[in-house]
């Protein structure tokens, strides 16, 4: 599966637009991570547990978007982007989305 944040994929011709491909995940914080984050906030620096959690969340959302595109018969996704939103205190959604297309 080819992914691009641009309107097209260089060297490929878009022959068909299939539709909106999307994939999301919702993650909640862990109390143990929150305690470490508070301590890190006091002394400064990266909160590596949250960085890792967000990276895993983005990858899972991308994987789900790819599955969605493949189910529609696409072999590429263009104009790919991410969106985030807070679902409730301590839980956030990451959404990966783009236009599913067939390219040659």
Nearest Cα residue to 24 out of 86, 74, 80, 84: 84
Q: Is the pLDDT of residue 37 over 80?
A: no
pLDDT of the residue at 9: 95
pLDDT of the residue at 90: 74
pLDDT of the residue at 50: 79
What does each C-alpha distance from 27 to 21, 47, 90, 97 come to in angstroms? 21, 16, 8, 18
> What is the mean pLDDT of the segment spanning 12-16?
97
Residue 85 is part of a domain; what is its CATH number? 3.30.110.70
Least confident range from 19-23, 31-35, 63-67: namely 31-35
The total of structural domains in the chain comes to: 1
Range of the domain at 6: 2-103
**Average pLDDT for the chain:** 89
For residues 64 and 85, which has the higher predicted lDDT (pLDDT)?
64
């Amino acid at each position: 599966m080819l992914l691009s944040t641009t309107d097209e994929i260089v060297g490929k011709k878009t022959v068909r637009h299939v539709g909106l491909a999307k994939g999301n995940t919702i993650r909640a914080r862990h109390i143990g991570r929150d305690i470490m984050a508070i301590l890190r906030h006091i002394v400064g620096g990266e909160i590596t547990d949250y960085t890792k959690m967000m990276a895993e969340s983005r990858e899972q959302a991308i994987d789900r978007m790819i599955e969605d595109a493949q189910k529609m018969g696409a072999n590429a996704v263009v104009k790919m982007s991410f969106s985030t939103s807070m679902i409730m205190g301590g839980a956030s959604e990451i959404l990966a989305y783009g236009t599913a297309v067939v390219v040659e």
